[in-house]
A = this chain, B = another copy of it.
Amino acid sequence: MAKNEMLPGTLGMLILRVLQPGAMHGYAIAQRIHQLSNDLLQVEEGSLYPALQRMLLKGWVKAEWGVSETNRKVRFYRLTAAGRKQLETEMNDFDRVLAGIQAVLQKA
A residues lining the B interface (CB < 8 Å): 1-2, 5-10, 13-14, 17-18, 20-21, 32-33, 36-38, 40-41, 91, 93-94, 96-101, 103-105, 107-108
Contacts and interface: CB of A to CB of B under 8 A. Distances in A.
A98 B6 CA distance: 9
A101 B104 CA distance: 20
B38 A100 contact: yes
The 3 A-B pairs with the shortest beta carbon distances in the complex, nearest first, are A40-B100, A37-B100, A8-B8
Q: How many copies does the complex hold?
A: 2
A40 B7 contact: no
A21 B24 CA distance: 48
Contact of A37 (B8, B10, B101): B101
Contacts of A14: 101, 104-105
